Structure 1
């Protein structure tokens, strides 16, 4: 649209006529033409949109990443869940996240939310092995 407006401008049409032809405001056409005259065609390219600033600083994100790594490898604690991470963020940084945003934040930090089968922290491997050796009524 911007380039079409410039084409009409270079053909000698007035800015008001260009706005009417393209069904845009005259202010937009004025801005496009002024930008073109001062910066050339590259000035009409879309500028990157920075978006909303992150709620956690880089240092806080590093602290959160260390917490997740430490807790996920710990054998004393059961499965690490989003509500645990949300509680940690709330208590440490005073920022509230919804559960969907916790998953998005973990993805940005390089984690994937694939969980293994849960294991009780106090489970006994020996008791499980003994249970597997019990005779079953269906065994031949």
Structure 2
């Protein structure tokens, strides 16, 4: 009598299992291994033998037997691979926790922040290991950001007022962001600057001659980006009043003037308030305390510093800041409506 082999345990699927296996088997690109296992179980559920299933799907006979047994024992969960143990961790979790906690809650004795070397000396780990732990947890002890929380009780009202002017400026009016950039040093290098050449950067001497300091008064037009500017030795209320007179002469008389400025003391003295009262077309809008970032002229001054003042070249101020506004200077372009 020929051998019939070991009898095959019938494989019966529920409607829910069949629907799930059909969905898995139709995966076009991802998880193709799981898709093939689902196809094996679906064909087995039709009553086919392991040999017929292996032939129909082009897989090894032992593969069919393995996943048939796994499904009968664990059902759908048996078709999903478990996480492989892999190489055991070389660093205990408590040591990783020690590095993270020390980085967040402590500082080294003779420094303001941890370095990889100092943390390695403290923890007994290598510098590369400390670096990997910091990268994993997103820690950068060498970096520090600054922030400022305004304590102005009218913070929301002032922000809405200023931002409203930016988005919806009044008709027949010009909106100017006003501020002073003080303590600008006028420096001359002790020797002429050597120009840049192929393969060689521009070179300048390390020493310089001081020619005093100056203050830049600027009014930035949010409509067209033009700037009214003046240079003064100081930035007192007296100089600010002179700058207001310059603005008054520059802006066409038929337009109102909305000034956005910060809470610096020289902007709100009795003399300034009296001048504004005599010029009713001027309207002053103060930014919230500690919120200079909302004033567009601050961004303009920052861009100017990065582009022209950082290198500290010869005749710094004269080269990049226009002189006082003259009567014959072209009038500002104004956004209407």
TM range (shorter): 0.5 to 0.7
Residues 57/4 of structure 1: CA separation in 2 closer, same or farther (3 Å cut): same
Which of 74, 86, 110 matches 1:76?
110
Deviation, 1:92, is 1.7
Residues 64/26 of structure 1: CA separation in 2 closer, same or farther (3 Å cut): same
Residues 23/107 of structure 1: CA separation in 2 closer, same or farther (3 Å cut): farther
Q: 2:108·2:118 contact (CA, 8 Å) conserved in 1?
A: no
Deviation, 1:23, is 2.5
* SS of residue in 2 equivalent to 1:105: helix
Query: Which residues of structure 1 form unaligned runs of 5+?
Result: 118-131
Query: Which residues of structure 2 form unaligned runs of 5+?
Result: 1-35, 145-182, 189-314, 319-337
Q: Within 5 Å, which residues of 2 pair with 1:91-102? A: 92=124, 99=128, 102=130
Q: Within 5 Å, which residues of 2 pair with 1:127-138? A: 136-137=187-188, 138=315
Q: 1:103·1:113 contact (CA, 8 Å) conserved in 2?
A: no
1:30 aligns with 2:58: no
Deviation, 1:81, is 4.8
Render the CA deviation track for 1:53-81: whole Å, top value 9, x for unaligned: 3222121112211343367x558337755
Q: Larger % of helix: which?
A: 1
1:15 aligns with 2:50: yes
Bigger Cα Rg: 2
Cα RMSD (Å): 3.6
Q: 2:50·2:65 contact (CA, 8 Å) conserved in 1?
A: yes
**Count of aligned residue pairs for this structure pair:** 118
Render the CA deviation track for 1:92-115: whole Å, top value 9, x for unaligned: 25xx67x4x65443243x334485
Deviation, 1:39, is 1.9
Q: Relative to structure 2, which stretch is displaced further, 32-41 or 16-25?
A: 16-25
